[in-house]
Amino acid sequence: MANGPFGGNKPAKPQRTPLQALVYWGTVLGIWGLIFVVAFFAVFARDLPDTSTLYDVKRQPSINYLDRSGALLAVRGSQYAPPVDIDALPPYVPAAFVAIEDRQFYHHFGFNPWGIVRSAVWNATHDGPQRGGSTITQQLARNLFLSPAQNYRRKAQELILAVWLEMKFSKKQILALYMNRVYFGAGAYGIEAASQRYFNKPAKDLSVGEAALLAGMMKGPARYSPVSAKDRAARRATIVLDEMVRIKAITPEQRDQAFSTPVQVSATLANQRAQYFTDYIDAQVRSLVGEPTEDLVVETTLDLPIQVAAERAVKQGVEAYEKQGVQQSALVAIDGEGRIRAYVGGADYADSQFDRATTARRQAGSAFKPFVYLTAMEQGRTPDMMVVDEPVKIGNWEPRNYTGKYLGQITMQTALAQSINTVAARLASEVGTSNVANTARRLGITSKIQLDPSMALGAVEVSPMEMAQAYAPFSNGGFLAKGYGIERIRTAKGKVLYDHNVDKQARAAVIGTPALQYMNQMMREVVTSGTGTRANVPGYDIAGKTGTTSDYRDAWFVGYTGGFVTAVWTGKDDNTTMRRVTGGGAPAEIWRNFMTAALPRLKATPIPGGVAPPPEAPDPIGDLINPTPTPTGAAAETPAGTAPPPGQLPY
């Protein structure tokens, strides 16, 4: 077979040796890798943030909230401390962060490819919380320069900045920057501020257990807070300690000693109360004085010992009635001037920060009836006037009594004390639902009030704050008392920026006599012999009203003594039904337990207003000469063909 240049088989192509193949393919991959890196930087490095801000600290001023006697309630805003020298810390402090956040910290160049792959595989194959593959350097880049947005562009820029940081700084400097800038919750930024806030000590004095606890918070400062989530934080700290042993940062004996030495969290921080209240007034601070530019002190109206009693009563009440479906409760207590003295927005702030004291709107049920009766009293009726409890139909609506029974002729006082639905419905129709709505607004209800006849039985959505301030005129002699929580705002240096008493307007009288005396007389009977007997506190002048809505979705008790009123709501956040929980049950019991603790401190006085005068003797001749006009009905306010919701329960 010819092998010449003009015919025959071509000579075989020489095979590359393994070394030549390695060099060849290494070169190819290197070129493509270089092309990829250039393209990567061209796409993602165009709008990188300005790294000259590396050493800038944007400090949000700290705000200290004090109760009415000067006791510290809470601290909000940021707390920074001078950067700590990492060499001044015990070696196990930085080691705790490396052990739990980035074991390969000293061996990678800003990012860990295998960590990224492991996280991607986990996230693709598992539901629930996602795992992150970020190194300490990447976290530092994100905290310093980027937003927390979860997208590929931000992640790519994070990688670029992490590599830049590794080129510019040593590992020790990167770790120091990280520990001095990272957020530890409770407004504390950096290891020194966190150590001071949580343990009242400098970071150089942290114990092994304290260091593990702080490092464990990096996964989620709120979720693993030693203040609001003690058990979860302790479990996380245990994992940190085990990892520290694994990388030989501490010995097993040191870990065991940390287990046997309880960590003592700052008493001031651990005993922080009134978190719902602090949230409520925190936004108001900025509306009153603008965005703070320096540390502030806010003097509030809250009374800390009373607040503690309120939180305890709410928590115990929810636990006691849990089997009956009570999941949440809210309590607001204000004095006769409108000062908020206790404020509880839920059973447990650590579990839910949603504020049910002012943010939630729930139907008031029969707790709305006093506005109906007050309107009637102001139109000339009296507690002793006879009314008839019998079936009634207003348009297409037929309200019913809770018991299904009718008492016949009774006094108006008995009708309110026993929360008779038919009487309240007919009464609202006679005096006019628009007049009832005006009465409620005049006393402090600010939510929208629908004018259908069912509003007489509380088909009106209100907050506990509104109910407390609307009942306040009954307790203080008839004066408007809009609830407020801030007395004074000053700088840490003493400059007063806001004072509630400056240019204070005279309070308007919103209930006159004898209507005020009549209402107090009737609502006293609610507590002494009506639906609210469980709220009675022996030895004190107490009045109030229960409220329960259809299907037991909401239960209320709003009660008062001289110059002090408290509104309590119980229910479920999803508005589903409880199991026969009425206003005379769980809410009245929470109210009584709270007031039993609060009243001695308040030095409560009897309800002002005196004794209601006796009704005038009948004058048939005068009635013939000057007949009293019949109150205009309000049934026509219901749209034709529209049936209002079913009547509310009586309690």
**559 with 333: CB under 8 angstroms?**
no
Cα–Cα distances (Å) from 120 to 110, 115, 123, 343, in that order, read 18, 9, 5, 46
Choosing from 62, 101, 134, 311, the catalytic residue is 101
Query: How far apart, in whole angstroms, are the C-alpha atoms of residue 5 and residue 23?
Result: 32
Query: How far apart, in whole angstroms, are the C-alpha atoms of residue 215 and residue 219?
Result: 8
Phi, psi of 112 (to 5 degrees): -115, 100
**195 with 206: CB under 8 angstroms?**
yes
Amino acid of residue 425: A
Structure tokens at 154: 């931000």
| Structure letter (DSSP) for residue 562 | B
Amino acid of residue 196: Q
Phi, psi of 488 (to 5 degrees): -155, 145
Phi, psi of 391 (to 5 degrees): -55, 140
Phi, psi of 487 (to 5 degrees): -90, -45
How many helical (H) and strand (E) elements, i.e. helices and strands, does the chain have?
Answer: 21, 16
Dihedral of CA atoms 609, 611, 613, 614 in degrees, nearest 10, equals 150
Nearest to 536 by CA among 528, 545, 525: 528
**310 with 342: CB under 8 angstroms?**
yes
Phi, psi of 335 (to 5 degrees): -90, 180
Strand partners, 545: 558
- Furthest C-alpha separation in the chain: 148
DSSP string, 369-432: HHHHHHHHHHTT--TT-EEEE----BTTB----SSS---EEEEHHHHHHTT-HHHHHHHHHHH-
Choosing from 366, 429, 475, 550, the catalytic residue is 366
* Alpha-helical regions (H) of 102-151: 113-125, 136-145
Q: What share of the chain is helix, strand, coil (3-state, %, to 5)?
A: 45, 15, 40
Dihedral of CA atoms 59, 60, 65, 71 in degrees, nearest 10, equals -10
The yes-or-no answer on residue 366 being catalytic is: yes
DSSP string, 195-255: HHHHHSS-GGG--HHHHHHHHHGGG-TTTT-TTT-HHHHHHHHHHHHHHHHHTTSS-HHHH
Residues 6+ apart with CB under 8 A from 127: none
Half-sphere exposure of 583 toward its Cβ, with a 13 Å CA cutoff?
Answer: 36
The yes-or-no answer on residue 101 being catalytic is: yes
Please identify every residue annotated as catalytic.
Answer: 101, 366
